[in-house]
Structure 1
């Protein structure tokens, strides 16, 4: 049975609509799949961003904590350094008032110091004190308070001679630098570096009982007291030093 022309047209129109709807449905499904993929990528990117933000937040927190700790340490070192300088001044004044306390240039103890034979070690009379000078470059890694290979052995040799010849004298450990700028967050100034190096010497001697801890005190002078001009590299190297300063005052008289 054949369909009337009107019915054929209606059926054809319906088929076209079905085809169109099917095509639209396919397009919608394709778009939905694409949007779902984009959404997954965005969620993954968002998760990565959140993770990075958390890492940065943790790093900022750690940096703030480290900065606060370093600030506290520097303030403590500045306070200790001021007190030690005052103590040094008082000790020198006290020692000068004591008759017969002066360590004279012709003192047999000074002549008997075998450390004068150590390469690079300088011994000199400075008024009523004896100064034993060790190049910092032979003790420490550049710009740090970490001992280099052989540094502590040299230090122990000097300390053993001082202990033998000056077993009861008060001895200052003074750190000195050149006039160059520091390039370290740990030691923002030469005063911090010189104090840290002097303290490292003290800790090494005290921990090994090479010298009596109550016989020693520590001062960091930075670059304030050069022994030669800083105009040359050799001069700068000479000024980077640790000095043991032997005072006339004895522990028994304190």
Structure 2
């Protein structure tokens, strides 16, 4: 009996040592696995943060792209509007010039087929002498320049207080020298585009100013309607360069143009 007990005790001790070894291995494996899990969780957290940052950057990029697309659409819309406006201005300019040409041709047809030189008319040119008024021959006609700065208030067709005296004095001299001649009332501007106000372009402003002088001549002088006609040239016929402020001021004018044809 004692021998059997010793053998059984030895077997139990050996099994205990084996189990302890297995336990230690399992504990070590568990610790390694836990560390690996922690490392993987750390990597996953880093990837999540990276993904969140990338998603935020992507959202910002998409937002900037949308802003740029909106701005591009707005610029394209504005460009289309400007292109349409320029086309309309060109059409209005061409229409105004055609109307002026047709009006001039109509007046000339009414008073004669062609304008012929009138040397006696030009020979009387020195008789016209008025302060602040330029008088010059131009082919078969005589041009009397009335400066817009002495006629109108700013970029309007409203007379300045001194305009009536100037127009009246010039009209009296023209009636004295050329009482029966055909007179063109021709408006001119400089090359600067119109900014604000009721006028769409320089042609409209030049016509409005010429009409204002025309109506004054009919109402306040002895000129007859059959003697007068109105033309608006805009900035198409400068007398000097528009490169300087003085040149632009000279080009802003209303001309009373004496034609060799008789108006009455």
Matched residues in 2 for 1:221 and 1:55: separation?
36
1:199 is aligned, of 201, 204, 208, to 204
Larger Rg: 2
User: Is 1:246 paired with 2:251?
Assistant: no
Pick aligned residue for 2:142 from 130, 153, 161: 130
CA distance in 2, matches of 1:157, 1:41: 72
Among 160, 164, 172, the residue aligned to 2:167: 160
- In structure 1, the residue matched to 2:85 is 69
Aligned partners of 1:133 and 1:243 also within 8 Å: yes
Structure 1 Cα separation of the partners of residues 169 and 105 of structure 2:
22
TM-score normalised by the chain length of structure 2: 0.57
Paired position in structure 1 for 2:75? 59
Q: Does 1:89 align with 2:105?
A: yes
Would the aligned equivalents of 2:188 and 2:253 in 1 still touch at CA under 8 Å? yes
Q: Is the 8 A contact 2:135 2:142 kept in 1?
A: yes
Cα deviation per residue 1:7-49 (whole Å; 9 max; x = unaligned)? 1011111111111111211221122112112211211221121
Give me the CA root mean square deviation. 5.0
Cα-to-partner distance string for 1:70-120 (whole Å, 9 max, x where unaligned): 2022123113212312322342354357xxxx9945879x73x7xx311xx
Give the C-alpha shift of residue 247 in structure 1.
4.8
Q: Taking structure 1 as the reference length, what is the TM-score of the superposition?
A: 0.59
Instruction: Give the direction of change, closer, same or farther, for the CA distance of 1:132–1:19 in structure 2 (3 Å limit).
Output: same
* 5+ long unaligned stretches in structure 1: 140-146, 188-195
Q: What CA distance in whole angstroms lies between the structure 1 residues aligned with 2:137 and 2:24?
A: 126
Q: Kindly indicate whether residue 31 of structure 2 is the aligned counterpart of residue 15 of structure 1.
A: yes
